[in-house]
Structure formats: structure tokens, C-alpha cells
Structure 1
Amino acid sequence: MASTDLQLDWLRAFVAVVDAGSLTAAAPLVHRSQSALSMQLKKLEDAIGRPVLSRGPRLLELTPSGHELLGYARRVLALHDEAVAALRGPALTGRVTLGVPDDYAVAYLAPVLRSFAARHAGVELTLVCEQSTLLIPKLQRGELDLAVVTRDRPQRGTFLFHEPLVWVGAAQHEAWRREPLPIAIYEPGSRARRDALAALAAHGRAHRIVYNSSSLPGHVAAVESGLAIAALTRCSVPPGLQVLGERHGLPALPAMDVAALRSKASSGSPAVDALHEQLIQTLRRPGLN
């Protein structure tokens, strides 16, 4: 008879897939290959005797049994992490201020912060969501302890992963057919702005800026209304918008280098040390530098 014990690795895999929305996105979070993650989920479902996930129109979705299991899984993992932290030594205390752009916060930070908070409940976290062009100077001035940003120059911080930059439009408006091309663009100094304008210039595509802002929701609104197309990080593209490419007369865009940065002023802080390590362990994709 098969064992009904629910191993921690299976539960951690299950929670990671729920938080990330797919096997592909969850695999680096638990440092497993996609096939190994799938096998852990299969073992979990075999032990329970019922499926916990089903494939929806876009992403994996929880079954009724999955919904029931999720709360228990989170509590089991939180208690396990609390026990490990207690046995390792005195609980961490202090404050950490973390900066991150909106798109990276929504797509990548939830599992990092949830795991950190479970292990270090005595640390007060403050999250500052702004564009990388604002976060980097703030970190240099010591106003932030840590930041996850798009690199503005090579070798800055600890490299985590490449984030694709893509053109996005609303299918019902077909703004990409207009001449000159109407574009929504990020603020001066941003890497996304610089790369998007350079790609259009190299492609010889006439364009005009009709919306200029550091606001991601503003860019999405401009695209959804048919005012313009925009260059967005792939992780921030909402389901209702279309990713555009060469068949729409648009040039390919380079990927963004995403890195973790730490302020000099935070040196010697065990709380900052712990979150910095958590960011790198969770978000850094193997085989990249």
C-alpha cells in the first residue's frame, strides 16, 4: 500500500507552482528541473489519491482538493521553517527596506517575501515600488537597503536573470499599423526606453511618442485604449494584450538584465544579509552570470 505521508519537498513544490502559476516559472524557485517538479506533484497526488492541479486556459489551476490542501501546506511549511530558524539560533530582528519595480514585484517577489517572513517574523520589511532609475540612486544614498532592478550598466550588483522586453498592443485597435508608429515609453534614463528607441531607429520605423511615463498601469491603459503600443517586460503583460513581433513590422527587443543590489550603509546587518541571500537563492537562475 502506498504511503500517505506528505513529504515537505512535495508540499514545497505544490506551493511554488501555485504561487508562480506554472511549472516553468516555479522550477527555479525550488531549485528543481521542470520534470523533477512535475514528478513531485505526481507523488503528492498519488499520496492524496486526488488531483490538486488542473490545466486552465492559460495557467495551472487549483482543483477543489488543491484549494483544501493549500492552506494546510502553507502552515506546515511555515511551522517547519520556524522550527529550523529557532534551532539555528536567536531570532533575527531589525528593519529592511527593499526597492523593486512594480512589474518585478508582482511577478517574482511573493514567494521570496512569504518565505522570508515565515523564517524571520521579527524583521520589519518595507517595500518601495518605483522604477529602477529611481531605486538605484536611492540605494546609493542609503535610503534603501536592497533593491531588485534592471541593470543600468554591466556588473552592477548580483545578476539574477534575463527578463525579455516585448512590444505589446491591443488586437482590436491595431495601433501598430499606423504611421508614424504611436508608442508609449518609459521615463528618460530607463533601459527599456533606450533599447526600444534604439531598436526602432535601427529598423528605420518612423514613430512618435504619445505617452511618456514611469507608470506601468499608465502604459497598460494607453495600450488598452488604442492610444499606442508599448515596450513592456514580458512578466508584466496582462492577459488581454497581444505580444507583437516582426510580422507586425516591429524589431526584436533585447532582454533586461535583472540584478540584486545592496547598499554600503547596510553592511553588517544580519537582517539585510538574510534577505539578500534569500533573494539570490530564490531568484537567481542556474547557469547564468
Structure 2
Amino acid sequence: MMRKFTNLQTDLLRTFVTVVDLRNYTETGNVLGRTQPAISLQVKRLEEIAGVKLLRHEGKKVELTPNGQALLGYAREILRLNDRAVANLQQAAFYGTLRVGLPVDYSIEYFQSIIAEFSHNNPDVTLDIRCDRSVDLLSALHVDDLDLTIALTDTMSAPHVSVYWSERPVWACSRDYKIDPTQPLKLIAHPNGCFYRRRMIEALDTEGRDWRVSFESLGISALQKAVLDGMGVTALTRKTMQPGMRILTQSDGFPNLSRIHVGLFYKHIKMSDAALKLIEKITEDISTFRIPTRTRAETLKERH
């Protein structure tokens, strides 16, 4: 028996993604050149094709249903591929200014290398790079001060995320660092609000272990140097471990840390051809180490 295919039309997906990004049917109509009733009809048509409810209304707010959240990532990817295909076929020139956010609390050097290669291959694109805390980068994207950003969040999925993955931070100290069990543990940490800091403190408090912050800095390079200088222990991802460091495990008396979630965030409706090309480059490169975020059931099973 021949399989029946369901085709999700790109114009309907574009309307859906734009409504999600703008959280407003009227603004979506203004951006896409349609009336508000036409936008409503397109959303309903997409829901009919998909066979599920995608959006719900809470007062004047437009919110995603669980099925809508599940579709959103695929929709962004379908639109990105569609628009990149059209740009390639039309041999679009890549130019303009891109405002890109990079988190100081993640593998910033890795993403700097990706962006530097993109800049070298696309000299007509001007890049404005902002390095900051993830929470501030996401706020800047929300008010359109950034075109795209890499950022950490506590939960996934989050608004405007395209690609996301999770990593479990590890406890790290210098190779020869000696821990005095009779003294509070010395922590090297980012300022309050950092996801790594929160995970370290939660893990230690759960264990009833005394601690104090001995070194605090916004930048990850300063934290790495403090670790190598033997000023305490910190939490890092394996990509940010450096020669001269060692990982502390449960056998050393250090509990597992909760996973962090990392994503590539952007508003599709704001994307130029140059931005889509950079997003494609980032997406291709992170696929080499991306680990899918675990489900809640898998996480609970692991903990037990």
C-alpha cells in the first residue's frame, strides 16, 4: 500500500513561525503583507494539515501548545533550508551587517573560530560581535539588538531557539590541586545568575558541604587561569578543559552536576541571506559535537 504523504506548506510554516516570534497576529500580518484574518486562517489551515492544535490564546497572549513547540524547531529548519536554497539558486550576494552574540560562559573560542572563518570567506559581510552573559544576550535578541546568538538556558525549548543540545558540566581543578576536607571548598565561579555557578551551589548544598567563592569573574578565560593557578575548583564543559587541569568525579567526593542547555537563537523573519548562511555554517559545525537534550523521563531514570 502506497504511503500517504502530508506536506507542510512553507508559506503556512512561515506564518506560524512569525506568529510565534512576534506573539501577535496583527504584527505578523503587517510583516508578511496580509490581514489579521488571513493570518488566522493560515494558522488554522496548518493545524488542519498537521491534525493537531499548535497555538492557544491566553487573553491577548499567543502561546505554543506542546505540539506547537514540537513543530517549531522543524519549521525553523525547513524555512532556513528553503531560503538558503533560493538564495543559492539566485546566486544572492552576501553583504550587510550581522550582530552576533557569543556567551562568555561557554565555548566562546570555538564559536569565534567558526565566525572568523565565515568572515574570511564573506568579506562583504560586516560582523558586530557581542560577548556577554547568556541572559543578557537573549534579552538583546528579544528587543532586536542582536540578529542571532549562542546562549545557555535553564530549560529547553526556549523562544527563538533553532538548534539546541545539552552538556553535563564537570568539576575541574588544577592537576596538582589539593583539597582540604576540613575547610570550606573554594569555588571559582562566574557572577550570580550563571548556570554553572547555580549547578555547583545546588549540588554542594544538597550534599551539605561547606563552600565559599574564592574567585569570581565574568570571562571564562579568567576562570580557566584561576583554576590553573590553584585557586580552587570550578565547573566547565569538557570543551573548555585545558592542559594542566583534571576532572573531579564522585570517587573524589564530587556529585554529578545537572546538565546545561545550549542553543542557537534567532528570529527567522529578521534573517538576511547573509545571516542564514552564517546560521548554516554554525549548524553544520556544531553537529560534530551536539548531544540531543534528554527527555524528562530519561533524566529521572538516570538520577535513580
Give TM-score, length-normalised by structure 2: 0.59
Q: Deviations over 1:215-239 (max 9, x none)?
A: 2122123222222111122211111
Structure 1 residues 215 and 183: alpha-carbon distance in aligned structure 2, compared to 1, 3 A threshold? same
CA contact (8 A) 1:160 1:280 kept: no
Structure 1 residues 108 and 255: alpha-carbon distance in aligned structure 2, compared to 1, 3 A threshold? farther
1:86 is displaced (CA, Å) by: 8.0
**Counterpart selection for 1:133 from 130, 135, 141:** 135
Corresponding residue for residue 52 of structure 1: none
Q: Does 1:280 align with 2:283?
A: yes
Provide the rounded CA distance (Å) in 2 between the counterparts of 1:268 and 1:262: 8
Corresponding residue for residue 124 of structure 1: 126
Corresponding residue for residue 102 of structure 2: 100
Provide the rounded CA distance (Å) in 2 between the counterparts of 1:138 and 1:259: 15
Corresponding residue for residue 219 of structure 1: 223
1:108 is displaced (CA, Å) by: 4.2
Seq. identity, %: 24
1:196-215 to 2 correspondences below 5 Å: 196-215=200-219
CA contact (8 A) 2:102 2:111 kept: no
Provide the rounded CA distance (Å) in 1 between the counterparts of 2:213 and 2:230: 14
1:176 is displaced (CA, Å) by: 6.0
1:32-181 to 2 correspondences below 5 Å: 88-102=90-104, 103-111=106-114, 113-115=116-118, 117-118=120-121, 120-156=122-158, 157-175=161-179, 177=181, 179-181=183-185
Structure 1 residues 247 and 176: alpha-carbon distance in aligned structure 2, compared to 1, 3 A threshold? farther
Q: Deviations over 1:47-94 (max 9, x none)?
A: xxxxxxxxxxxxxxxxxxxxxxxxxxxxxxxxxxxxxx9875131111
1:274 is displaced (CA, Å) by: 2.2
Structure 1 residues 162 and 153: alpha-carbon distance in aligned structure 2, compared to 1, 3 A threshold? closer
**Counterpart selection for 1:262 from 257, 260, 266:** 266
CA contact (8 A) 1:159 1:257 kept: no
Structure 1 residues 117 and 169: alpha-carbon distance in aligned structure 2, compared to 1, 3 A threshold? same
Corresponding residue for residue 189 of structure 1: 193
Query: Which region of structure 1 is more displaced relative to structure 2, 232-241 or 131-140?
Result: 131-140
Find the residue that maps to 2:149 and give its secondary structure: strand
Q: Does 1:233 align with 2:237?
A: yes
> What amino acid maps onto 1:135 in structure 2?
L
Structure 1 residues 171 and 178: alpha-carbon distance in aligned structure 2, compared to 1, 3 A threshold? farther
Corresponding residue for residue 75 of structure 2: none
Structure 1 residue ranges without an equivalent (≥5):
1-84
> What amino acid maps onto 2:199 in structure 1?
D
Provide the rounded CA distance (Å) in 2 between the counterparts of 1:281 and 1:272: 14
Structure 1 residues 176 and 259: alpha-carbon distance in aligned structure 2, compared to 1, 3 A threshold? farther
Structure 2 residue ranges without an equivalent (≥5):
1-86, 294-304
Corresponding residue for residue 271 of structure 1: 274
Structure 1 residues 255 and 286: alpha-carbon distance in aligned structure 2, compared to 1, 3 A threshold? closer
CA contact (8 A) 2:114 2:282 kept: no
Find the residue that maps to 1:238 and give its secondary structure: coil
CA contact (8 A) 2:162 2:266 kept: no
1:252 is displaced (CA, Å) by: 0.9
Q: Deviations over 1:8-28 (max 9, x none)?
A: xxxxxxxxxxxxxxxxxxxxx
Q: Deviations over 1:165-191 (max 9, x none)?
A: 111112323136452111112221121
Provide the rounded CA distance (Å) in 1 between the counterparts of 2:203 and 2:280: 36
CA contact (8 A) 1:159 1:260 kept: yes
Structure 1 residues 153 and 178: alpha-carbon distance in aligned structure 2, compared to 1, 3 A threshold? same
